[in-house]
Amino acid sequence: MKAASQDRPGFWNRSHHLDRMTFRDLVIAYFQHYTIQTYLLLAAIAAGATVWRPAPLLQMAASVVIAILVYPLVWYALHRWVLHSQWMYKLPLTAKTWKRIHYDHHQDPNHLEVLFGALYTTLPTIAVATVPVGYAIGGFGGASIAFATGLLTTCVYEFFHCIQHLAYKPKNKWVAKIKKLHLAHHFHDENGNYGITNYVWDRLFGTYYTSMKQKRSETVFNLGYTPEVAKKYPWVAELSGGVATGHPRRRATD
């Protein structure tokens, strides 16, 4: 006879929705997810590489600071001009990636499994955003410490992203504010508030908003991938079993 523990499904063998989870549930799920474990492991390896072949202290400090400063701009640019673009779903080669890394998240913003980024897209992006600038500043040591910084910054971003979708009212005013701004992006108008923890670039590029007075976007959940668009570019619909409309988990699939 099997033990009772053997009959239970693994933690990640079932779906998790942040609007049904507590803060404690989130912390447990967060550190058990393979993407976060991968980031932390690679950050430790990169830190070890820095110790092995360090750059001068000032150069390493500069690499860390620049990596932290460039991260919000890189995220903003990718979020606005790639993830919210109208070209990825039009190409068979990129439709599957777009569906996985952003369409599914907007279809059901509280679904934890698709909230975390896909490693095959996040790791190259982190490396490209941090390694060259770190190497230019401090050679091998600067590159490795910049990469470690990018990985840890990603962990921070992912955690706050989870909190923004969690059934939890933050006591901290700053966390409450960024949660409100991000939820507006998901449930009011997807064409703005592209930041996660930093909205400086939204302000500079004119995509920052706080007012909900304007009419809610009709494409806030599908990013413009409507049933009409799917007839011409069917690949995402084929992968999704149709085109869903309306509020997540309160809708029928056409």
What mean pLDDT value characterizes the chain? 90
pLDDT on residue 214: 81
Position 5 confidence tier, pLDDT thresholds 50, 70, 90: very low
Written as six digits, the tokens of 37 are: 């474990």
What is the residue range of 139's domain? 18-240
Is 9 part of any domain?
no
Mean pLDDT, range 27-55, rounded to an integer: 96
pLDDT on residue 12: 61
Q: Which residues contact 176 (CB under 8 A, 6 or more apart)?
A: 169, 170
Statement: residue 4 has pLDDT above 50: no
Q: Which tens digit of pLDDT belongs to each residue from 194-228?
A: 999 999 999 999 999 998 878 889 999 999 999 99
Is 230 part of any domain?
yes
Is 247 part of any domain?
no
Position 2 confidence tier, pLDDT thresholds 50, 70, 90: very low
Number of domains in the chain: 1
Mean pLDDT, range 51-75, rounded to an integer: 95
Statement: residue 252 has pLDDT above 60: no
Statement: residue 9 has pLDDT above 60: no
Mean pLDDT, range 6-17, rounded to an integer: 61
**3-class DSSP state for residue 111?**
strand
pLDDT on residue 254: 41
Q: Which residues contact 200 (CB under 8 A, 6 or more apart)?
A: 72
pLDDT on residue 250: 54
| Burial degree of 236 (CB within 10 A; 0-12, 13-18, 19+) | buried
Position 176 confidence tier, pLDDT thresholds 50, 70, 90: very high
Tell me, yes or no, if the pTM score tops 0.85. yes
pLDDT on residue 140: 97
Give residue 249's region: left, alpha or beta (phi > 0; psi -120 to 50). Answer: left
Position 189 confidence tier, pLDDT thresholds 50, 70, 90: very high
Mean pLDDT, range 26-42, rounded to an integer: 96
* 193 touches 182 (CB < 8 A): yes
Is 46 part of any domain?
yes
Position 10 confidence tier, pLDDT thresholds 50, 70, 90: low
Of the candidates 215, 223, 248, 244, the one whose C-alpha atom is nearest the C-alpha of residue 85 is 223
Is 3 part of any domain?
no
Is 173 part of any domain?
yes
Statement: residue 145 has pLDDT above 70: yes
Statement: residue 122 has pLDDT above 80: yes
pLDDT on residue 247: 63
Is 84 part of any domain?
yes
